[in-house]
Amino acid sequence: MTRQTLIAGNWKMHGLTGALGFFSEIAPVAAQSPATVLVCPPSTLVHQAARACEGTAIRIGGQDCHAARSGAHTGDVSADMLRDAGASHVIVGHSERRADHGESDADVRAKADAALAAGLVPVICVGETRAEREAGREVEVVARQLAASLPQNQTGVDLVIAYEPVWAIGTGLTASINDVARMHAALRERLPDPLTTCILYGGSVKPDNASDLLGLADVDGALVGGASLNATDFAAIIKAASLKSELVR
Ligand code: PGA
């Protein structure tokens, strides 16, 4: 059983139109890679990024969507709007959304449902805080988030899980290889489709640690923040994933 390998970049609140040149630098690397390459720019750039990536192997995603299809929600973006702008995926439940906007697991589940209804692949994020890890509660916390954030009673659904320990995001710290292996195995055994669902690791993934992380059997790819803003670094991470896909074959 081979699972898709996915390397996803999350630009967060970075990127003006001048950043679109990134895609012509990454396109040849994505074309050579057996991994799926996804970039999630800010919503203002989704349409232009999708246009810039037409005819390339790069997919474009949103960073969040509203749970409703449309309505009186000033400033929000629906999954249908992202799809209409050319997105194929959308990140939901990123820890920065959970922290900055008070998003609950129920909110994340509603967003994942909305993404699926719009024909987008939701990338559902889970992860423990430093205090939760220090208390030895990381698996319990992440398992509870997963159970409450996943669409209910559905199998055969195209979705992606991203395990991102909150304390590793943007800090230069990563979980140890053993801790990542343990958490990904724990997540996999709780998934409705354990054999086929892609589980990403995220949190300070860089060119120098990507091969070790992607070498783990239950790590199917990476969700990359800071290093996805630099075409050279992101290309190096995509190349590390190519090695993984060759091993899997
Ligand atoms: P980072 O961000 O790679 O900058 O740690 C990862 C993420 O938040 O998705």
- What residue numbers bound the domain in which 112 lies? 6-242
Q: What is the mean pLDDT of the chain?
A: 95
pLDDT band of 174, cuts 50, 70, 90: confident
What pLDDT does 102 receive? 96
In a domain, 168, yes or no: yes
In a domain, 247, yes or no: no
Q: Are 62 and 91 in contact (CB under 8 A)?
A: yes
Q: How far apart (Å, rounded) are the C-alpha atoms in residues 42 and 57?
A: 20
């996804």: which residue's tokens? 38
In a domain, 54, yes or no: yes
**Closest Cα to atom 7 of ligand 1:** 225
Query: Is the Cα dihedral 123, 159, 238, 79 positive or negative?
Result: negative
246 tagged catalytic: no
Average pLDDT over residues 61-75: 98
94 tagged catalytic: yes
What pLDDT does 153 receive? 84
């922290």: which residue's tokens? 99
Q: How far is the CA of 71 from the centre of ligand 1 (A)?
A: 31
In a domain, 249, yes or no: no
CA-nearest of 31, 61, 34 to 49 is 61
CATH code for the domain in which residue 178 is found:
3.20.20.70
Q: How far apart (Å, rounded) are the C-alpha atoms in residues 129 and 182?
A: 17
In a domain, 70, yes or no: yes
In a domain, 13, yes or no: yes
Q: How many residues appear in the chain?
A: 249
Question: Among the atoms of ligand 1, which is closest to the Cα of residue 170?
Answer: 5
Residue 1 has pLDDT above 80, yes or no: no
Q: How far apart (Å, rounded) are the C-alpha atoms in residues 74 and 18?
A: 27
Q: Which of 66, 89, 94, 184 is catalytic?
A: 94
Q: How many percent of the chain have pLDDT more than 90?
A: 92
| Number of folded domains that form the chain | 1
Average pLDDT over residues 189-217: 96
163-to-23, 183, 186 alpha-carbon distances in Å: 26, 8, 11
Q: What are phi and psi of 65, to 5 degrees?
A: -145, 160
CA-nearest of 75, 83, 79, 76 to 50 is 83
Ligand 1 site residues, Cβ closer than 6 angstroms: 10, 164, 169-170, 202-205, 223-227
In a domain, 1, yes or no: no
Query: pTM of the prediction?
Result: 0.96
CA-nearest of 144, 225, 148, 210 to 180 is 210
Q: Which of 96, 128, 164, 184 is catalytic?
A: 164
Average pLDDT over residues 45-67: 98
